[in-house]
């Protein structure tokens, strides 16, 4: 078995706010294998985006701070690197695709300048070579007449085009890992699937591993080999995608899956939802964070947070004292 490309161990991130310290990530651990696509799932505010920013060392500070844990990339702890060394990792080894194509690109520089800068910095290309390489990449992500488009400013492109530029930029230095944070959420529904397919196909062609951060379970089912489910800064269940979807063991995962509309089997008006709301990170329950919304909590769930360990019944990595033990649906 090969070594993981990325090993995150017991990662802890805190945010200092006016009202107190919020623990946005509380001991997150997971691996990404080379060439693998890992889905990270959860509701907004659960710590998905914080995880991705922490890997690149981009947690806004103040107010954020990484207070513990390790992020091992190809065996090296990224948290121990200097800012200068970290800059070489960003964009070259690990590239990120952001959620908002409208604002993620700089409005006052052309595509050529923005992509060229990255290529020259990381690939050591000349201005001319960088421009040619950028045009090639724009063509590969499906931008028509890239040699003209490259001199456009972001506001001259549609949202979908901008996101393709973002993808081209992410792939252009052929990184080993791509982190895609809700890459299609902000796009028109009609092109979401198209853009997502493009990301997946190109990263597979390049053999690039990918962390796909999303709240959309359908996307995970289609594209990911494995998936992690996060809730309130904790990783609560992790497994290969197939078994996870077939037999979710954590009540939260089960609830999430049940609330996805399935056209053929269910009428939309009877769509089940998870009762209650996500607790505030400043006022977390003492035990399991899901306890107040959980239908099958036992006494233990109120006093201690279950550790993440391999569950005998399902084979998933699971943090639950009283998992769902249903049969495959």
Partner 1 sequence: MLQYTLKKLLAGLPLILGVTFISFVLMVYFGPDKTYELAGKNPTEEQIAQIRADLGYDQPFFKRYTNYVIELATLNFGHSDSTGERVTRLLGRTIPISLALTLPGFVLGNVIGILLALLAAYYRSTWIDKSIMTFAVVGMSVSFLIIIIGFQVMFSSAYGLNMFPVRGWSMDTLGEYLYYVTVPTLAIVFVSLGYNTRFYRAVIVEELGKDHIRTARAYGASARSILLKRVLKNSMIPIITRIMFSIPLVVISGSLLIESYFGIPGVGKVTYDAITTGDQPVLKAVVGATAVLFVVVLIVTDVLYRLFDPRVELK
Closest distance between partner 1 and the C-beta of residue 118, in Å? Answer: 5
Segment contacting partner 1 by CB under 8 A, of 80-88, 139-147, 187-195, 246-254: 80-88
**Residues 172-202: b if buried by 16+ CB within 10 A, e if exposed:** bbebbbbbbbbbbebbeeebbeebbebbbeb
Q: Which is nearer to partner 1, 166 or 196 (CB)?
A: 166
- Of the candidate residues 7, 65, 92, 225, the single one contacting partner 1 (CB under 8 A): 92
Give the nearer residue to partner 1 in terms of CB position, either 148 or 313: 148
Bridge partners of residue 185, in order along the sequence: none
**Residue whose CB is less far from partner 1, 104 or 235:** 104
Number of residues that bind partner 1 (CB under 8 A): 30
CB 195 within 8 A of CB 159: no
Give the x/- contact pattern for partner 1 in 224-253, rule: CB under 8 A.
------------------------------
Q: Does 108 bind partner 1 (CB under 8 A)?
A: yes
Among positions 2-61, residues that touch partner 1 (CB under 8 A) are 56, 58, 60
Sheet with 209-214, side-by-side order of all strands:
94-97, 177-181, 209-214, 37-41, 226-231, 234-240, 317-318, 309-310
Binding mask 270-309 for partner 1 (x = CB under 8 A): ----------------------------------------
Beta carbon of residue 173, minimum distance to partner 1 (angstroms, whole number): 8
End-to-end Cα distance, the chain: 31
Cis peptide leading into residue 291 (ω within 30°): no
When the beta carbons of 31 and 100 are compared against partner 1, the nearer one is: 100
Can residue 64 be called a binding residue for partner 1 (CB under 8 A)?
A: no
Q: Pick out residues in 144-203 that bind partner 1 (CB under 8 A).
A: 153, 155, 166, 169
CA-nearest of 93, 104, 102 to 55 is 93
d(CA 235, CA 26): 8
What is the rounded (10 degree) CA torsion for 201, 31, 221, 138? -20
Task: Name the segment binding partner 1 (CB under 8 A); options: 32-40, 83-91, 187-195, 222-230.
Answer: 83-91
Residue 58, CA distances (Å) to 13, 87, 137, 159, 213 in order: 12, 11, 26, 24, 16
Residues in CB range of 146: below 8 A, 6 or more apart? 135, 136, 138, 139
Indicate which single residue of 7, 9, 121, 140 sits in contact with partner 1 (rule: CB under 8 A): 121
Q: Which residue, 127 or 155, has its beta carbon nearer to partner 1?
A: 155
Residue 145 CB, nearest approach to partner 1 (Å): 19
Asked if 95 touches partner 1 (CB under 8 A), the answer is: yes
CA distance 22 to 185: 26
Taking the C-alpha atoms of 37, 42, 43 and 45 in order, what is their torsion angle to the nearest 10 degrees? -90
| Nearest distance in Å: CB 255, partner 1 | 32
Pick one of 10, 77, 106, 205: the residue that binds partner 1 (CB under 8 A).
Answer: 106
Among 76, 103, 303, 325, binds partner 1 (CB under 8 A): 103
* Sites of contact with partner 1 (CB under 8 A): 56, 58, 60, 62, 83, 87-92, 95-96, 98, 100, 103-109, 117-118, 121-122, 153, 155, 166, 169
């Amino acid at each position: 078995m090969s070594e993981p490309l990325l090993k995150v161990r017991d990662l802890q991130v805190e945010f200092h706010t006016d009202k107190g310290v919020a623990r946005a990530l509380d001991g997150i651990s997971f691996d990404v294998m080379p060439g693998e696509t890992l889905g990270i799932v959860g509701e907004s505010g659960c710590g998905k985006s914080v995880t991705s920013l922490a890997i690149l060392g981009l947690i806004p500070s103040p107010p954020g701070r990484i207070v513990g844990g390790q992020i091992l990339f190809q065996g090296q702890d990224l948290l121990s690197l200097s800012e200068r060394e970290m800059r070489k990792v960003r964009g070259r080894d690990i590239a990120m695709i952001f959620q908002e194509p409208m604002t993620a690109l700089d409005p006052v520089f052309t595509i050529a300048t923005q992509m060229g800068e990255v290529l020259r910095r990381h690939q050591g290309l000349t201005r001319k070579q960088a421009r040619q390489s950028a045009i090639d990449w724009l063509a590969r992500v499906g931008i028509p007449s890239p040699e003209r488009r490259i001199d456009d400013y972001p506001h001259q492109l549609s949202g979908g085009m901008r996101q393709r530029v973002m993808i081209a930029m992410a792939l252009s230095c052929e990184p080993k890992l791509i982190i895609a944070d809700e890459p299609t959420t902000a796009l028109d529904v009609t092109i979401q699937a198209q853009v997502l397919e493009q990301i997946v196909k190109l990263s597979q062609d390049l053999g690039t591993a990918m962390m796909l951060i999303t709240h959309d379970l359908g996307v995970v089912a289609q594209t990911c080999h494995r998936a992690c489910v996060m809730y309130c800064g904790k990783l609560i269940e992790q497994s290969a995608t197939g078994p996870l979807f077939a037999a979710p063991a954590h009540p939260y995962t089960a609830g999430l899956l049940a609330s996805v509309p399935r056209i053929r089997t269910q009428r939309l008006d009877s769509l089940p939802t998870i009762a209650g709301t996500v607790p505030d990170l400043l006022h977390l329950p003492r035990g399991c964070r899901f306890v107040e919304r959980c239908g099958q909590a036992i006494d233990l769930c109120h006093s201690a947070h279950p550790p993440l360990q391999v569950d005998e019944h399902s084979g998933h990595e699971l943090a639950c004292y009283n998992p769902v033990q249903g049969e495959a649906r």
